[in-house]
Each structure stands twice: as C-alpha cells, then as structure tokens.
Amino acid sequence: MAQKTKKQKFTGERLIPEVMNEDTFLHLHRYAITFDYIKDKDVIDIACGEGYGSFLMSKYAKNIIGIDIDKNTIDNANSKYVNNNLSYLQGDVSKIPLQSSTIDVVVSFETIEHTTMHDEMMLEIKRVLKPDGLLIMSSPDKYNYSEKRGFRNKFHVKELYLEEFENLIKKYFKYDKMLFQRYFHGSMMFPMENIKIITEFRGNFNKIDELDFFDSMIFNIVFASDNEIAVSKKASVFDATNYVTEVFNSKTYKLANIIAKPFRYLMKK
C-alpha cells in the first residue's frame, strides 16, 4: 500500500501525485496498458521516478523492481510504496544493477530522451531481458512534441523522430509493434495499423477549425521482443472527465473565473 511520506519537490519534469495536470493521465495510461503483459512476470521499471507506476504494476506482476538514478527518489519510493513483491534500486540506464537474462518485461517510460547513450541503454535492456523477454518503451516524438509546438523541454537531451525511434528498436529486436499517444481530456492511444481518418473540431463561439486528429500524437510507444508479439489492436482511452469536473467545480477555479471576468470584458472592447 502507498504510505504517507514527505512530499517530493515538483521540478516540472518528474510526475508526482500531488500535482495533477495533463501529463498525469498520459503517464497513468502508459502504465495501464502494461497490465495484460506483466501478469506473473518478473518486471523492472526503468527510471521509475516517484514509484507510483511500479506500485500499480506490482498488483499484477510476480516481482517488480523500480530503478532510478536519484538516491533520494529511490529512498522515498521504498518508504512510500510498499508491496511484498515490490522493491526499488538506484541505478543508471547504461548500467542496470541486475544479473543478465533474469527479467521477463522491461518497462521504460519517458526515459530515453534523458540520455544520449541510446545504444548503451538498449544493450543493457537486452542484457537483463530473458531471450523471449518484452520491452515496453515510450519516447516523445521530436516533431510533434517539440518542433511543431515550438516547445523545448529543458530536461530532454536527445529526443527522437519516429523513424529514428523505429530504427533504434529494430536494431536490437526482431519484432516490434508501435502505438501513438496524445492528450485528449485524458489520454488516447492508437496502434499504427489501425489508424483511420478522424476529423477533429476545435474552437470556440468565434471560430471552429477542422484538424487531423492523428496529427497531434506526441508520444510513440513500442512493444519489442525477439519473439513475435501479440499486442492488442484496440485503441484505448484514459478518461479524465472526473478530474476536469472537479477542477471546474473547485473554489479556486470559480474564484479565478470571477477575477478574470472584467479582463475578458475589456478584451472584447
């Protein structure tokens, strides 16, 4: 069970439960899709951060180890998230502190963009995976996440375009299946082979624009293995409606709305 501990400082990069934003649902959705693939398996969660994801997966996995480079983060996770089959270790992506061929599933979400040592990371993942092991990894799409939005994440040191990510995975694994993820009042994921044309409308009372729904997939997620992969072909959704409703009904939002009302009126003049 999750224990009460000292709150982690929010830097803007590591997700913590105390701060709810659109990234919350993207992260939770990623962990949710692992559940069917980790049942009764030995699993590691690379760059586990806060530890909530490892904890969620521990409800399904045989054993799970969360690994992170930051000692304070690991100490906090070990005391905050407790389960009989769950533990946390300090370690680096280019030197995973585990024996070779011992892991069934490696999970690594929002990690690869934080290092330039991509080949070293992949070699370590291959080393600890059993011959029939599975990698589930996400990567922010350099074009849609950064370039298209004119956005720079100061914590990212080497983002990958989709083609670069695909080539890296194919270099180390015989089989792979790609999913795409975007924010949509929660989170949505779609398999590559099942993408259809969906028209998206976005706007307000002054103007409504017609957009390509799939043109905003900002994260690429891969399932990779040396064995053939039976990955679900279904699209999936993580619904954040309850959270959005809570925000709209909160005293803070209502007060902000009252304060902003005269400024909106002046802007119309």
pTM over 0.75: yes
pLDDT-based confidence at 235, cuts 50/70/90? confident
Highest mean pLDDT among 5-19, 103-117, 184-198: 103-117
Distance CA 105, CA 37 (A): 8
Is the predicted pLDDT of residue 62 greater than 90, yes or no? yes
CA 28/CA 188 separation, integer angstroms: 11
Give the separation between CA 32 and CA 23, rounded to whole angstroms: 14
- Asked if residue 113 is part of any domain, the answer here is yes
Bridge-based pairing of strands 86-90 and 63-68 is parallel
- Between 68-77, 130-139, 178-187, the lowest mean confidence (pLDDT) is in 178-187
For residues 81 and 242, the model is more confident at 81
Residue 92 lies in a domain: yes
Residue 36 buriedness (CB in 10 A; 0-12 / 13-18 / 19+)? exposed
Among 23-32, 49-58, 201-210, the range of highest mean pLDDT: 49-58
Question: Does some domain include residue 177?
Answer: yes
Q: Is 118 inside any structural domain? A: yes
Q: What sign results for the dihedral spanned by CA atoms 156, 158, 161, 167?
A: negative
For position 189, what pLDDT does the model report? Answer: 85
Return the CATH number at 37. 3.40.50.150
Does any domain span residue 256?
Answer: no
- The verdict on residue 136 lying in a domain is yes
Structure tokens at 83: 């389960």
Name the residue with higher pLDDT: 36 or 11.
36
Burial of 78 (0-12, 13-18, 19+ CB in 10 A): middle
Residue 40 CB contacts under 8 Å (≥ 6 apart), including other chains: 61, 62
Per the model's pLDDT, the better-predicted residue between 21 and 6 turns out to be 21
Residue 76 has pLDDT above 50, yes or no: yes
* pLDDT at residue 200, rounded to an integer: 73
Contacts of 161 (CB under 8 A, 6+ apart): 141, 142, 143
Gap between the Cα atoms of 101 and 86, Å rounded = 19
- Predicted pLDDT at 25: 81
Res 54 pLDDT > 70: yes
When pLDDT is averaged across residues 20-46 and rounded to a whole number, the result is: 88
Contacts of 79 (CB under 8 A, 6+ apart): 3, 5
Residue 231 lies in a domain: yes
Query: Average model confidence (pLDDT) for the chain?
Result: 83
The pLDDT-based confidence of 162 (bands split at 50, 70, 90) is: very high
Which tokens go with 97? 């502190």
Cα Dmax for the chain = 68
Give domain status of residue 260, yes or no.
no
Token reading at 132: 């029939």
Residue 183, beta-bridge partner list: 187
> Domain total for the chain?
1
| Model pLDDT, residue 248 | 55
Domain encompassing residue 177: 22-241
pLDDT tops 50 at residue 263: no
